[in-house]
Amino acid sequence: MTLRDKLIGAWFLQSYIEYPVDGSSPSYPLGEDAKGLIIYSPDGFMSSQLMRTGRPAFASGDWFRGTPQDYEQAGSYIAYSGPFDVDEETGTLTHSMFVSFFPNWLGQTQIRLADLVGDILHLGPKVPIQSAGKSVMSKLQWRRAVTR
């Protein structure tokens, strides 16, 4: 079975940790109890959603009429979707951003290092990314979702 075949399905976020390349202390950018879901479909598309737990509801109940304080919560949510591809020889996969909550990622294709052992998937970028003013390597651990 190929890595691509093994990725197909849904995965729940277990942890999201950023390690600054300057050697300073790692951090949990969405908190230690962040929630997330990443889905890889058989037809070659993926979708990833991550969020900080405990985000307050919009005061108005209308997502187009939030207050400035409501919209400040946007920094606690990551979402993007698009095609994915796997390089079986190198164990890398690419995520292409067809849509993204972070506009700077639109149209990008990013390389991810993937390590899959049983029902645990480790993902991270191939090169450092900018986060909270630092250059970091992100490490995300996912567990295969099981429906009942």
CATH of the domain at 39: 2.40.128.280
Handedness of CA 93, 32, 143, 146 (dihedral sign): negative
Contacts of 65 (CB under 8 A, 6+ apart): 58
Q: Show the DSSP H helices in the chain as ranges.
A: 3-7, 68-71
Q: Quick one: which of 109, 47, 35 has its CA closest to 80?
A: 47
Alpha-carbon torsion angle 29, 32, 33, 38, nearest 10: 50
Q: How many domains does the chain have?
A: 1
Predicted pLDDT of residue 119: 96
Predicted pLDDT of residue 148: 58
Task: Please tell me whether residue 37 adopts helix, strand or coil conformation.
Answer: strand
Which string of b and e fits 58-97 if b means at least 16 CB within 10 Å? beeeeeeebeeebeeeeebebebbbebebeeeeeebbbbb
Task: Please tell me whether residue 128 adopts helix, strand or coil conformation.
Answer: coil
Q: Tens digit of pLDDT per residue, the chain (148 long)?
A: 999 999 999 999 999 999 999 999 999 999 999 999 999 999 999 999 999 999 999 888 898 988 888 888 888 999 999 999 999 999 899 999 999 999 999 999 999 999 999 999 999 999 999 999 999 999 999 999 986 5
CA 146 to CA 148: how far, in whole Å? 7
Which residue range forms the structural domain that includes residue 50?
3-144
